Amino acid sequence: MAILFRTDDALKWGMGKGSNLTPTEVDLNFWELVSRVTSIEENPPEPNEISNILVEGHLFTIYLEDGTQFGPYELPVATFAWRGEWTPDTAYFAFDVVTVLNVGLFMVTKDHISAATFDPNAVDASLEALYQQMFGVAVSPPLLNALYHGAFGGI
């Protein structure tokens, strides 16, 4: 059964009845809609599941069971910036890596201007950490430099 409309709309539902609907016609419209929704609820369509995710280099593509393909999308790559020894009143940016003498190696997690003294537990106004400790060794900057370049390939 089709839904009965009162008015015409060639782009949406076509020809309408051209007059007010009777109570029975209104009820039949509601019954048709309820029947369609009930049918969907009782017989939901099978989902179009992911069948495969392919990663090639820095790109990944998602394939669905029906052959639909999404991508390829570029995978983000974290780029660390070696900044050496931490200094006060300095602009630091996310993924900068700094050393702190006798404390360790830290990655900056948020863009900020450093304080007058280093605080490994420093937070921003939203209480989010500014630093993430990567190594917690009390060694000299030359050794930290060697550790960094060995662990990260001198990025």
Which tens digit of pLDDT belongs to each residue from 141-153? 566 566 656 655 5
Domain range for 94 is: 81-152
Q: Give the residue from 56, 76, 96 where a domain finishes.
A: 76
Which tens digit of pLDDT belongs to each residue from 103-119? 889 999 999 999 999 99
Total domains in the chain come to: 3
109 and 135 inside one domain? yes
85 and 148 inside one domain? yes
Please give the full DSSP string across the chain, using - where no structure is assigned.
Answer: -PPP-SS-BTTTTB---SSPPPHHHHHHHHHHHHHHHHHHHHSPPPP--EEEEEEETTEEEEEETTS-EEEEEEPP----EEEEE--SS-EE-TTEEEEETTTEEEEE-S-EE--SS--TT-B-TTS-BSEEEEE-----HHHHHHHHHHHHTT-
55 and 27 inside one domain? no
Q: Does the predicted model carry a pTM greater than 0.85?
A: no
